[in-house]
A and B are shown apart, each in its own frame.
Chain A
Amino acid sequence: MEQDAQLVQQCLQGDGSAWEELVRRHSRRIFNICYRFTGNRTEAEDLSQDVFLRVYRTLGSYRSAHGGFATWMTSVTRNLLIDHYRRTKRDRATDSLDDAMPVVENKESAGRRPDEQALLSELSAQVQVALTHLSPELREAVILRDLQQLEYSEIQAVLAVPEGTVKSRINRGRIELARILQQMGVRPS
């Protein structure tokens, strides 16, 4: 975290290599948040790039006293994702679970048999589909908690809502996700 703050200071002084280091350190995390929220690689890549552009432009407004750089960047990402969701809401109006075609993901296959690998990939794709059918408020809450594994206080800072609301959204998000998975025929083994 301190290293991020130092890099930000160097960036503000015009050090391009410090900015490159920041991009390299955070690009994977930001891309994954965007992908899990949208469920689409191309959209996730475009949104991630927009995140970095916005961060670069507004780097001067970041104050390390207000929290970590990662939290601030996650907050910027979240705002862009919500904007994107609102912009594209009409396009998704006809989406339903039946239309959702799970896309098999390439999961790291170290030490797994091909049949186990196939099952895991299928489950991952189904979970991703279920995730994109959550409301954006619940989706972002479970993504930050269960995928990014942020603390409640960090999620509170990112979403700018009280901790009770954070807990409530995570709780409802998990229950709703379980219900959607059951509808899709995915049950605990």
Chain B
Amino acid sequence: MNWTCEQTEQLLTDYLDGLLPADEQHAFNLHVNSCERCTPLVGSVTHAMNSLRALPELEIPPRFVYNVLDATLGPRETVNGWAAFLVWVRGLASPKFAYGAVSVAATFLMIVTVTGSINWKKPKLADLAPSNIYRNTNRQVHVAYGKSMKYVSDLRVVYEIQSRLKQDNDLPTNRENTTPETNPTPGRTDGSGPASPRQQNRANDVSSQLQVLAEEVPLLSGKLSLVSSGSLNLMMSGTLGAR
């Protein structure tokens, strides 16, 4: 197929838009690749078309839509006073806002309850003052810290008693192997004589601490009831006296 420069120019758009049949496109390519006049023409037109297609799409000017709506539908109605307030309140009735408000309220209540900022039996507006909230929170933190320290101290006492009772259980076998006291108390031959005053005081001290602990920690009181104060005194006296 003989292809001319005129044909190239006339059918350039068909070529660029991919509308040429296969045989014509082949002839077009053959001609353009060998023609000094058509090669720059196709190159420059392709460049112009691509540059045109690369032009950015501009944003519409601000308020354009409102200007058009005002010019066609007329100025929008403006509401004042109570009507505006009602419109505003109606806007708050959306589910999104309601969920948000409920979650904020729940969070606030949780924080206020945990920090003890408000006395729910006698709530006062002053409780919501930031200084009062800070003071109450600070007090609550200190009280919680004091209670936890006391609880740890009581636990240490319980562990100490348990470890000593365990040692006491291990003693009888040892006691059988030991020789009797060389200087037993007159009138007593079972070796269960009263402990020295220092040992007695320590037993009384532990007993009183256990009582306090039982009051503070009711859960432990059942277990600790086995170790009543009287028997504890005797046990401690015996244990300590045997040493």
Contacts and interface: CB of A to CB of B under 8 A. Distances in A.
A83 to B, nearest CB: 19
Contacts of A142: 52
A32 B55 CA distance: 10
A48 B54 CA distance: 22
Interface string B30-71: 000000000001011111110111111111110011011101
Nearest to A42: B61
A86 interface: no
A137 interface: no
B215 interface: no
Interface centre among A120, A146, A149 (most CB of B within 10 A): A146
A53 B68 CA distance: 7
Contacts of B69: 16, 19-20, 23
Given A49-B71, A147-B55, A171-B12, A31 B65 contact: no
Contact of B44 (A53, A56, A187): A187
A24 to B, nearest CB: 6
Interface in A165-189: 167, 170-171, 174-175, 177-179, 181-182, 186-188
Contacts of B73: 16, 19-20
Interface in B98-124: none
B48 A181 contact: yes
A178 B44 contact: yes
Interface stretch (A2-10, A67-75, A123-131): A123-131
B16 interface: yes
A84 interface: no
Interface string B1-33: 000000001101110100000000000000000
A1 B195 CA distance: 105
Interface centre among B10, B52, B58, B72 (most CB of A within 10 A): B52
Interface residues of B, number: 33
A41 interface: yes
Contacts, number: 112
A171 to B, nearest CB: 4
A99 interface: no
Contacts of A182: 44
B55 A181 contact: no
Contacts of A174: 12-13, 16, 45, 48-49
B58 A31 contact: yes
A28 B59 contact: yes
Nearest to A182: B44
A37 interface: no
A188 B68 contact: no
Nearest to B44: A178
A28 B47 contact: no
B16 A27 contact: no
B55 A124 contact: yes
Interface in A10-35: 16, 19-20, 23-24, 27-28, 31-32, 35
11 contacts: A23-B69, A31-B60, A49-B67, A123-B54, A130-B48, A146-B52, A167-B14, A171-B12, A174-B12, A187-B47, A188-B46
Interface of A: 16, 19-20, 23-24, 27-28, 31-32, 35-36, 41, 45, 48-49, 52-53, 56, 105-108, 120, 123-124, 127-128, 130-131, 142, 146-147, 149, 167, 170-171, 174-175, 177-179, 181-182, 186-188
Interface of B: 9-10, 12-14, 16, 41, 43-49, 51-61, 64-65, 67-69, 71-73
Give the 9 A-B CB pairs with smallest separation, nearest first.
Answer: A188-B47, A178-B48, A171-B13, A178-B44, A107-B56, A56-B72, A146-B52, A178-B45, A177-B48
